[in-house]
Amino acid sequence: MKKIIVLMSLMLISLPSWSFTPESGLYWDADEPGTGFSFEIQDNFFSGIFYFYDDAGFPYWYTTSGFLDGNSFFEGDIFISEDGSCLGCVYSPNNTFVSNLGKVQIEFLTETTANISLLGQTTFIERFNFFLGDQLQKMRGEWQVVYDVSEFSDNYPFFADVLIFEQTETFDGDYLATGCRSENTSYNNCTNYALNNNDLAAAYDTVNDELIAVVRDDADYYLAYYLKTGTNQFDGEAFSYEVGNSPDLSLNGFPVRGFRSASKTFVDTATGPSKSTTSSNKVASGLNKLLDKNRLKSAPKSTLDQKAQNRIMTTIKRLEQQLTKKAVIE
């Protein structure tokens, strides 16, 4: 476990300084199943419940609460509650008091991972995944996306998108999540028009915990995404570049945040126009039309080192090839 903590710390040193919001939910140490942590975060107020056992092996829980320091750090006392009501019994108030266990410190590393330090030990914990599958399967569903293009456009500083990660599949040897930019928000699946004009492909790097996605912005431009993903949100940056060229990863992209707006089940079962329906003669117009190309070329230097840039570029090019191959087949 110490090796995992060191590895996570080294990985985070090389990451761009994106903002992220820690997620409420149930967390666990995968090396110690049967114990866990329940976190609830409301604005900058944090509350935690720790599920463990006493010396006799009976279930025991502890609590803590207080305000976050910044966006991702908490330190507080550990409380014990005793003499409360049993399940189904007449209510009687419990007795809550500060334990002699000292302080607990929780440093969130990403939306769904953290280091927790108590009793002189630091443990890596992560939000428990009950049902969503692996990191690509977890993305299935509809996501509403916000781009901060304030540095790259004289138009409105923020733009939005709706992306659908429709399925996971192994295509030509690559394990991918595939889908589209939604044609509109009145239904939640990919029409033929969306798949033919604004399809997407994504791959997950399990070593570096990063999602790389490429979306066909229009006939002439791609959008590439470099993301860190949570359960219901993601954060990262996007790059607009011409088909046939490559994104300049030595420069910053524009910040992007995404939020799940419909589940995989809803995308699978929601009613709407048939996928076989063909659209009119409209021409897809991409985000690139709203960006100042000269400002993109003069963006600040990226914090990604050359090794990371090469790794991400390799994945982007592989995804481009998959989009091209799938377009030919379809």
Domain 137-329 = CATH 2.60.120.260: no
CA nearest to 126, candidates 235, 264, 22: 22
Which residues make up the CATH 2.40.128.120 domain(s) of the chain? Answer: 137-329
What secondary structure letter does DSSP report for 299?
P
Report how far residue 7's alpha carbon sits from residue 208's, in angstroms, rounded to the nearest whole number.
10
Q: Which residues pair with 256 in a beta bridge?
A: 147, 236
Domain 15-127 = CATH 2.40.30: no
Statement: residue 21 has pLDDT above 80: yes
Q: What confidence score (pLDDT) does residue 59 get?
A: 87
Give pLDDT tens digits for 47-87. Answer: 999 999 888 888 888 999 999 998 899 999 999 988 888 88
Average pLDDT over residues 314-325: 91
The model carries a pTM of: 0.81
Give pLDDT tens digits for 176-192. Answer: 999 999 987 776 788 88
Q: Are 41 and 22 in contact (CB under 8 A)?
A: yes
Q: What confidence score (pLDDT) does residue 12 get?
A: 43
- Chain centroid, CA 22 distance in Å: 11
DSSP string, 119-161: TTEEEEEEE--SSS-STTGGG-EEEEEEEE-TTT-SS-SEEEE
Indicate if the alpha-carbon torsion angle 48, 121, 28, 142 is positive or negative: positive
Report how far residue 269's alpha carbon sits from residue 271's, in angstroms, rounded to the nearest whole number.
6
CA atoms within 13 A on the CB side of 67: 3
Q: What confidence score (pLDDT) does residue 11 get?
A: 42
Q: What confidence score (pLDDT) does residue 272 get?
A: 52
Cα separation values, 6 from 75, 91, 229, Å: 21, 46, 20
CA nearest to 164, candidates 146, 183, 147: 183
Q: Are 145 and 158 in contact (CB under 8 A)?
A: no
More confident call, 107 vs 330: 107
Confidence of residue 320 (pLDDT cuts 50, 70, 90): very high
